[in-house]
Amino acid sequence: MIKITGLSKSFGELEVLKDISLDVEKGKVIVVIGPSGSGKTTMLRCLNLLETPSGGTIAISNKSIDFSQRVSKKEVTEFRKLTGMVFQGYNLFPHKTALQNVMEGPVIVKKEDKEKARKKAEQLLAKVGLADKLDFYPYQLSGGQQQRVGIARALAMEPEVMLFDEPTSALDPELVGEVLKVMKDLAREGMTMIVVTHEMKFAREVADEVLFMDGGYIVEKATPEEFFSNPKEDRTKRFLQLLQ
Ligand code: ADP
């Protein structure tokens, strides 16, 4: 489903991603962990083309982009539709209701019929447990509810892959569970997901593979059982010790 080959990204002189290669099969959940500044967010943003990679190729589904060549705006727009992104800060439109937030992408970007988009948005908001909050504005919702609207909004674009960038780090502890539950349900339904998170329990329970990043590299990749009980690399061991 996803094939990343030799992906690199620099900001000026600063090389943030160095020769990242990764294959993700359809329906798999990859959890990415690593110290702050290791390049986790940049990798997700490159997959969503919010950042333009400096080199390498990314293939998602049957579309592929080679960043050693010039990439057209049209290619970027088409490619971006393949992934849905959920951010740490929910990034909802403050002056639109939950329903309007979820309808916006399909209607404006995909030019979907409004009625059809409304029905789909209602279904998605019901799916994330917000059937009774359709007409609420973001300020009337808790952080956990806003993030669930964020997930419904990403799903409304019918992406092949969902990318989560620390989706629960801005939440009060008592609200984390409701967002993780929605993510677990999605994983169970077979959505392909890449999740940057500090929630190790989620990684243990839901991930098919855990990636450990440090210094712009993927240092280690393993099943959660293997990763947490028998890490191979010294840098991984040190990182896991700090968590205890
Ligand atoms: P992580 O998500 O692992 O904390 P990031 O991908 O956010 O790491 O950041 C990796 C490195 O890239 C950091 O050193 C950060 O300061 C730098 N960086 C990220 N975005 C930018 C940017 N837009 N301009 C310059 N440097 C950036």
Cβ of 216 closer than 6 Å to ligand 1, yes or no, is no
Predicted confidence (pLDDT) per residue in 63-104, tens digit: 999 999 888 999 999 999 999 999 998 889 999 999 999 999
**Angle formed by the axes of helices 173-188 and 143-156, nearest 10°:** 20
Name the residue type at position 75.
Answer: E
- Judged against a pLDDT cut of 90, whether residue 11 lies above it is answered with yes
The residue contributing the CA closest to ligand 1 atom 16 is 37
- Residue 4 confidence (pLDDT) above 90: yes
Q: Is the pLDDT confidence value at 126 over 80?
A: yes
Question: Which stretch of DSSP H or E encloses residue 206?
Answer: helix 200-206
How many whole angstroms separate alpha carbon 97 and alpha carbon 35?
36
- Phi, psi (rounded to 5 degrees) for 89: -90, 135
Q: What are phi and psi of 30, to 5 degrees?
A: -110, 125
pLDDT score, position 199: 93
Closest ligand 1 atom number to CA of residue 39 = 6
Does residue 150 have its Cβ closer than 6 Å to ligand 1?
no
pLDDT value of position 90: 81
The pLDDT of 170-198, averaged and rounded, is 96
Evaluate: CB of 14 within 6 angstroms of ligand 1.
Answer: yes
What single-letter DSSP state applies at residue 208? S
2-82+161-242 fold: Rossmann fold (3.40.50)
Q: Which of 147, 154, 156, 206 is nearest to 179 (CA)?
A: 147
Nearest C-alpha to atom 6 of ligand 1 is from which residue?
Answer: 39
Q: What is the mean pLDDT of the chain?
A: 95
Query: Predicted confidence band at 189 (pLDDT cuts at 50, 70, 90)?
Result: very high
Q: How far is the CA of 41 from the centre of ligand 1 (A)?
A: 7
Confidence (pLDDT) at 244 = 74
Could you count the other beta carbons within 10 Å of the beta carbon of residue 192? 24
Decide: 9 in ligand 1 pocket, CB within 6 A: no
Q: Start-end ranges of CATH 3.40.50.300 in the chain? A: 2-82+161-242
